[in-house]
Amino acid sequence: MASSKKYWKSGAELDPNDSIVERLKQNEFVEEIPIDGFLGDKDTLDSTSTNRRDFLKFIGYSTAAASLAACEGPVVKTIPYVVQPERIIPGIANYYATTIADGFDFASILVKTREGRPIKIENNTYAKVNGAGKARVQASVLSLYDSTRLQGPSANGDAVEWSQFDTEVRAKLMAAKDSGRQIALLTQTYASPSTERLIADFKAAYGNVNHVIYDAVAEDAALNAFEAKYGERALADYDFENAALIVSFGADILGDWQGGGYDIGYAKGRIPKNGKMSRHIQFESNLTNSGAKADKRVPLSPSQLKLALAKLYGKLNNVPVAGELPSGAEEVLDSVAGQIRKTGSRAVVVTGLQDENAQTLVLALNEMLGSKVFDPQAPKYIRQGNAKAVTQLVADMKAGKVGALLMDGVNPMYTLPDPTDFSEGINKVGLSLIFALNYNETVAVSQYVASASHFLESWGDAQFKKGFYSLMQPTIKELFDTRQFQSSLLRWAGIDKTYYEYVKETWNTSILAGSDWDKALQDGVFVPAEMPIPEDAAPKEKPGAPAAEIAEAETVSTTIPIATAVNSLAGADPEGMELTLYTKQGLGDGQQASNPWLQEFPDPITRVSWGNYVTVSKVDADRLNLKNEHVSNGALNGSYVKLTVNGTTLEGVPVIIQPGQAKGSVGMALGYGRLEGMKSEMRTGVNAYPLFQDFSNIQSVEIEKMSGMHEFACVQLQNTMVGRGDDIIKETSLEIFNTKDKDHWNAVPKVDYNHGEIEVRDKNADIWNSFDTEIGHHFNLSIDLNACTGCGACVIACHAENNVPVVGKEEVRRFRDMHWLRVDRYYSSADTFKQEIEDLQNLPAMEPYTRIETASYENPEVAFQPVMCQHCNHAPCETVCPVAATSHGRQGQNQMVYNRCVGTRYCQNNCPYKVRRFNWFRYNGNDEFDYNMNNDLGRMVLNPDVVVRSRGVMEKCSMCIQLTQKTILDAKREGRKIEDGEFHTACSSACDKGAMVFGDINDSSSEILKKKNDDRMFHLLENVGTKPNVMYQVMVRNTTEA
């Protein structure tokens, strides 16, 4: 049976003697509730004479005082607009299509505004490319309301007016021009046609202008390889939806690989249709989301990855490549080569190794395969950085050749591996000027600091991919005295136009080709009717040609000869441990480090929030005597290490022992450890950029253990399913899915009834009367475990929609995180499913599952499962509430009434899914929780349709009842029926992968009804008999070899 597979969440669970895990199975919290803590410090408490009687007196007095105080109601003022803008009706949301293009994240989005305030980011469903909100994009609206933003321009540390700023800067620019020294623009990647034109105009005005594009997390090798081959500095695009076989060498295609945005197509190709789905084979060092979703994952260290790639190329071309791979890997490669041959043009090979040889080889391989997935003709422009130019610029600065340095969207003092050269150089520059949102490391060393506008306050445009345009429009007037870089350049270049006019002009003259500007602006995206790429522009191998017959691909003269590439890849010689630097789904490159939503967002794989760490394999950890342990309160602690790369040392980096981490390799996330201008709570983690040397994500590293233990805020062990391991995740293989009966791979749990067995879905299995849900709407939510990539966009969308508070590192450590929606990550044993079943069958009946699980520390299978309130039709929480604060609605929602709740937490104890969250404190307007809800600016992001909960009440997912109610009301007002697809929740609309589908099962035409009747449908812990309104679709892995 499929459900015999065992899942585990943390290494501690594998230890049969771990008392904490045992305790967590029985108790929600490991420790007793520290009541003394509420009353103050324990020592002080003991030393005072406050006894129980005094305490009661205080309680009595405060109740009386509160009642008396309540007699006098506060006077509430209401201030209407003097002149109400025509488009704004108080209480009604407006949506604007715009674009985020901050140099790291590029996406076409919709912005929901209320009374003129942007409060939420939604996906732009018109966009065919990057119309997605990742967690960071979803959270970017909060960065607009960051209380640490720069509020006005300053010159040499003194606040000045823009007029004075302009005068001085222009004078200095003219001086630089006259001196003949270069004027350098050091910027992020804009991928913006208008900005490109503007910079050309600026060059025309000042002459010696050098525009250097700098991506903090460089894709330099991929760009160089592509440029050499195709003559354009861009990145090949991949259409994973049409892929039948994806072979990845260290490319986190579901993460930020090459700018991200590939997860949508990938997820669509992963849902079994007509018995078919794509097969994904991942070779990688760190365990990434992509590795987690792969059908087959082979952990290899970076040097082994290079060798494996070279060998794969050799095998496909019948060229022997020397070198040793770990046992098993060679066979996998043989099998992969065979599969590639079989799949032909629907196979694709990708790599995330920042190595020009590897990138060149991959381009050649895909050309050779004639891969339909691979698209070099309409490449992506969302990474354009040039590491060589950046290095040259720093050298020029040091040599005093730079007269003026204008920076936008970059923070080199933080992101450069060695900022000392830069800081030395910037002192020799006549004019150093930076546009920044927040005070940061580079602001600290710049003469002129321009307060930049947030993208939600700016005009702009972007071309993500050749022929796919997107427009950026302001959704709010500048909150502070800020100005965007482009407006300033226009002024300094002497062009008497606003940037809006300039963008419009660019579009009307060179992009729209007669199409309507207003329409393009309303849609936010624009694709010219005729795609500018002729189909047969470049020679492509005939699709379907057997790859083996293809001789070594012809190469463009400037590219690295393939043979050289193969040899140098095969000859990669590892020294010591190898480090792979990566970016997290949460903080990314670190631009939004002061965003509390992102800081508290748990990493999809390690489930650690508030900080980064180095991931090591179990073998290496044992060798180095590194430890992860759960302390008495259940929280995770880890050893500290010292990392040294080429003489650069990072001290005090905490360690996470990561199942699936390749032996001999370690991983570490960039983007943490920002200090300048950050609130103390947000100064988390260690800055890994000093190790990002030569702009390469792969480094040789020495590791040394340090003393002390780090306290992690890890939600890994929390909310285990009370020891009920079965029926949580169901998975099967494509083969079984196609050939066997549904009862085999998705059996409904049975219960005893009348001396026989009946399905738990049977009416007789109920001891409760069912609710009548036949009439009206009945909402269900379906989550497809195949399509879910664990990205966590839903988590942040839920935060934004439902005013979920941020509780901070200490509270997360105490298991008091408030996420209404969590994405659980489960590890499971064994490489193959079959093997595991055999293993299980061969074990004695009562054997703890520890034995087979331990082996999987090396390379576990991973499953993601988003869990929110399951809205049970027979909800255990409802029956135990003494004050009926949680009740059932006819539409299927389990309703939580905050004002009725007295905080007994019985419901939380009785919930089998552990989805209820208790407000241990008042998280708004409380200096102890100095996050966005503690200042007026940060509170502007709150959704006015959802209450901010007070202390002492329980809260949980409401299935976004405010959104379903709104849809119903709109229909009532317009006197019409509701069409399928109108209902949505924050998570379902944030999920661009289609993993979450929401709707009304009483609507016979609805998609959700089809999902409910799908063979793959199952409920979480169905044997408990709660009859949830949230359903899951069985995960199918395409494990068929060759």
Partner 1 sequence: MKKVPYRHPISKFLGACLVVFLLFSTALFSQDEAATQGDPAKGKQLFNQNCAACHSLDRKMTGPMLANIESKVIDAGKDRQWIYDWVRNSAGLIKSGDDYANKIFNEFNKVPMTPFPTLSDEDIDNILAYTAAPAATPKPAAAAGGAAQSAAPASSGINNTVVLGALVLIFGLLVIMLVLVNKTLRRIAEANGVVLEKERAEKRLPIWKAFVQNQFLVFVTVVFLLLAGAYYAFGWMMQIGIDQGYQPIQPIHYSHKIHAGDNKIDCKFCHSSARVSKTSGVPSLNVCMNCHKFISEYKGNPEGPSPEDLANGYTNEFYTGEIQKLYDAVGWDQENGSYTGKTKPVEWVRIHNLPDFVYFNHSQHVSVAGVECQTCHGPVEEMEVMYQYAPLTMGWCINCHKDTGVKMEGNEYYEKIHAELSKKYGVEKLTIAQMGGLECGKCHY
User: Which stretches of the chain bind partner 1, using CB under 8 A?
Assistant: 67, 70-71, 73, 75-84, 89-92, 772, 774-776, 887, 889-891, 893, 895-900, 945-948, 958, 961-962, 965, 968-969, 971-973, 975-978
Residue 827 has φ and ψ, to the nearest 5°, of: -100, 150
CA dist 383 and 106 (Å) reads 10
State the Cα–Cα distance between residues 526 and 534, nearest whole angstrom: 19
Min CB(948)–partner 1 separation in Å: 7
The whole-angstrom separation of Cα 765 and Cα 769 is 11
Cβ 86 to partner 1 shortest distance, Å? 10
Check residue 461 and report its DSSP letter. E
* Eight-class DSSP state of 163: H
| Minimum CB distance to partner 1 smaller for 52 or for 976 | 976
Tell me how far apart the alpha carbons of residues 254 and 124 are, in angstroms, rounded to a whole number. 19
Q: Dump the DSSP string for 15-75.
A: -TT-HHHHHHHH-SSSSPP-HHHHHS-HHHHHHS---HHHHHHHHHHHHHHHHHHHHSPPP
Torsion sign across C-alpha atoms 481, 484, 485, 489: negative
Residue 823, classed as helix, strand or coil, is: strand
At its nearest, how many Å lie between partner 1 and the CB of residue 482? 24
Please say which residue, 506 or 773, places its beta carbon nearer to partner 1. Answer: 773
Q: Give, in order, the Cα–Cα distances in Å from 408 to each of 146, 184, 335, 484, 507.
A: 19, 11, 48, 9, 23
Q: How far is the CB of 915 from partner 1 (least distance, A)?
A: 16
Q: Which is nearer to partner 1, 620 or 1000 (CB)?
A: 1000
Handedness of CA 476, 480, 485, 488 (dihedral sign): positive
Task: Tell the smallest beta-carbon distance from residue 965 to partner 1 (Å).
Answer: 7
Are 582 and 689 in contact by the 8 Å Cβ rule? The answer is: no
Instruction: Report the residue number, 153 or 999, with the smaller CB distance to partner 1.
Output: 999
The 3-class SS string of 980-1020 reads CCCCCCHHHHHCCCCCEEEEECCCCCCHHHHHHCCCCEECC
CB of 40 to partner 1, least distance (A): 29
For partner 1, the closer of residues 35 and 76 by Cβ is: 76
| Residue with Cβ nearer partner 1 (653 or 821) | 821
Strand positions, DSSP E, 367-466: 374-380, 402-408, 431-436, 448-451, 460-465
Distance, in Å, from the CA atom of 306 to the CA atom of 566, rounded to the nearest integer, reads 9
Q: Residue 224 belongs to what H/E stretch?
A: helix 220-230
> Taking the CB of residue 570, how many other CB atoms lie within 10 A of it?
20
Of residues 301 and 1002, the one with the C-beta less far from partner 1: 1002
Q: State the nearest-atom distance from the C-beta of 893 to partner 1, in Å.
A: 6
Q: Which two tokens stand for residue 440?
A: 């940061």
**Residue 67 or 707: which CB sits closer to partner 1?**
67
Rounded least distance, CB 988 to partner 1, Å: 17
Closest approach, Cβ 75 to partner 1, in A, equals 6
Q: Nearer to partner 1 by C-beta: 898 or 920?
A: 898
Minimum distance from CB of 487 to partner 1 (Å)?
24
- In the complex, least distance from residue 887 CB atom to partner 1, rounded to whole angstroms: 5
Query: What distance in Å separates the CA atoms of residue 809 and residue 611, rounded to the nearest whole number?
Result: 9
Q: How far is the CB of 327 from partner 1 (least distance, A)?
A: 57
Cα torsion at 758, 762, 763, 769 (round to 10°)? 110
Exposure letters 594-606 (e unless 16+ CB within 10 A, then b): bbbbbbbbbbbbb
Least distance in angstroms from the C-beta of 888 to partner 1: 8
- Residues 661 and 658: their CA atoms lie apart, in Å, by 6
First vs last C-alpha separation in the chain: 25
CA separation (Å) from 103 to 124, 382, 392, 792? Answer: 19, 7, 21, 21
Nearest CB to partner 1, comparing residues 460 and 889: 889
Contacts of 503 (CB under 8 A, 6+ apart): 194, 459, 460, 461, 471
The minimum distance between CB 802 and partner 1, in angstroms, equals 9
Closest CB to partner 1 among 89 and 675?
89
Q: Helices 485-492 and 499-506 sit at what angle, rounded to 10 degrees?
A: 90
Nearer to partner 1, 345 or 924 (CB): 924
Residue closer to partner 1 (CB basis): 225 or 804: 804
The DSSP output letter for 447 is S
Nearest to 593 by CA among 584, 605, 580: 584
Closer Cβ to partner 1, 840 or 947, answer by number = 947
Nearer to partner 1, 115 or 1007 (CB): 115
CB 210 → partner 1: shortest distance, Å? 45
Nearer to partner 1, 321 or 896 (CB): 896
The two tokens of residue 483 are: 């100005």
Nearest distance from residue 226's CB to partner 1, in Å? 50
690 three-state secondary structure = helix
91 vs 882, beta carbon nearer partner 1: 91
Calpha distance 985→967 (Å, rounded): 11
Closest to partner 1 by CB, 53 vs 973, is: 973
Q: Helix 329-343 and helix 302-316: axis angle, to 10°?
A: 40
| Shortest reach from residue 97's CB to partner 1, in Å | 22
Neighbouring C-alpha atoms within 13 Å toward the C-beta of 408: 24
For 222, 307, 562, 896, the CA distances from 553, given in Å and listed in that order, are: 18, 19, 8, 63
Rounded to a whole number of angstroms, the minimum distance from the CB of residue 882 to partner 1 is: 15
